[in-house]
Amino acid sequence: MKHEQSVFNKLHKFSAKEEPMKVELALTDSFGGYVRAVNNIKSEGSKFESQITQVRKQILQLANDTDSISNDAARDLVQFEKACKELGINPNSNSEYKAAKAAFDELVKLAKDYRQLVKG
């Protein structure tokens, strides 16, 4: 029994000494996973950055197109208003004018919103 106790004590001392080392070595197994995770995240992030850049360009183009249309609308609205004034007619009596004026107001708002979205 003394021999068994002696072996048990030695085994306990040996495993107690080795246990921290095993834990430390087991932790190093995780390190490669962290490196792979960083590489995967950077790769995905790069894809998203590229997509965001492309979407921003498209939104900016949409804002420019919206500005162009609103400039055309403004020119036509002013021209119609002048013609109505010469004829003594209230432009607001024309439903198409009112709809075009509302569309113009919406175009101006959209262009502003799109530009703000690109800045944000």
Residue 111 burial (C-beta neighbours within 10 Å; 0-12, 13-18, 19+): buried
DSSP state letter for 88: T
Q: What is the pLDDT of residues 101-116, one digit of tens each?
A: 999 999 999 999 999 9
Q: Which residue has the tokens 């965001």?
A: 52
Reading the block at residue 39, the tokens are 């590489």
| Confidence grade of residue 120 (pLDDT, cut at 50, 70, 90) | confident
Q: Is the pTM above the cut of 0.85?
A: no
Q: What is the pLDDT of residues 80-91, one digit of tens each?
A: 999 999 999 999
Could you tell me which residues come within 8 angstroms of residue 76 by beta carbon, excluding any fewer than 6 positions away? Answer: 100
Could you tell me which residues come within 8 angstroms of residue 80 by beta carbon, excluding any fewer than 6 positions away? Answer: 91, 94, 97
